[in-house]
Amino acid sequence: MNKSKCESSSVVERVLPKHRMGVRFPSLALCLLILGSIAGCATAPVSTLPPKIEGIPGIYHKVEKGQTLWRISKMYNIDLDTLVKINRIPDSASIEIGQMILIPQTQKQIIPPAISASEEDFIWPAKGRVTGVFGHVYADRLNKGINIQPYENTEVYASRSGKVVFCAPSFKNYGKTIIIDHGDGFSSVYSGNAQLLVAAGDNVRRGAVIAKLNTSGSKPYLHFEVRKGHIAQNPKFYLSD
């Protein structure tokens, strides 16, 4: 920050004209300019609470480490899409530790149970960094999942337990693709693999190695999707950082 901008006395001394018979006060516009310079040094407090929608009672849940929006929705038995809409969370966003999530309350006070990982939770399908996010357009194509560029580890893991319902060596522009049905209306998609290690009809457990990626070549990556029915979801709502 420019030091002279925060020292109100020096600002006033420069703009106030000096006269032998006294000091003539500046115009109203100039006073406002001076006050604006001084006010620019203050930092307004930022609220961490999302805005409540009028007419919807509820309580706030503070996001803790390891929690996902998916897990929070299961805790309170609230549809995930409802949480996204009420809290006005952008489609491509992810929740953060300490963030306050408004939980709509329709009956008596809600008391959440203790959180523990379960077979219902999704895990990251590959170890790497996200290079493409949900909802963005790349090469005139809408990304319906996330793209994960692998580190040294090339293994692809089943994000959740289920049955392999699709396994193809070449699927349109996606390359080697696997789709796992999780049995509750959700499925996960794994594309861009270099080697497939499962076949259609196989039952797989969460964390099982189902494919391998190729780390050579030009920026290889795993394309991962979470689908509810046939509707693509933001995987960041289901995956814990």
pLDDT of the residue at 130: 87
Domains, the chain: 3-39 (no CATH), 45-116 (3.10.350.10), 128-237 (2.70.70.10)
Please report the pLDDT score of residue 88 as a whole number: 87
Q: What is the pLDDT of residues 84-128, one digit of tens each?
A: 888 888 876 778 888 999 888 755 445 555 455 565 789 999 988
CA nearest neighbour of 129 among 232, 221, 233: 221
- Asked if the model's pLDDT at residue 241 lies above 80, the reply is no
CA distances from 106 to 55, 56, 58, 75, 234 (A): 11, 8, 8, 15, 26
pLDDT value, residue 14: 42
More confident residue, 35 or 155: 155
pLDDT digits (tens, 9 = 90+) for 130-165: 888 887 777 778 889 999 988 877 899 999 999 999
pLDDT tens per residue, range 41-77 = 433 333 345 555 555 678 889 998 888 898 898 888 8
d(CA 140, CA 157): 29
Q: Residue range 195-222: average pLDDT?
A: 89
Tens of pLDDT, residue by residue over 6-20, are: 444 444 344 334 444
For residues 195 and 212, the answer to whether their CB atoms sit within 8 Å is yes
Q: State phi, psi for 32 to the nearest 5 degrees.
A: -65, -35
Q: Specify the DSSP element, H or E, that contains 166.
A: strand 162-168
176, 223 in Cβ contact below 8 A?
no
Residue 200 carries which side chain, given as an amino acid letter? A
Considering just the CA atoms, what is the radius of gyration of the chain in Å?
Answer: 27
* Angle in degrees, CA 159, 121, 75, rounded to 5: 165
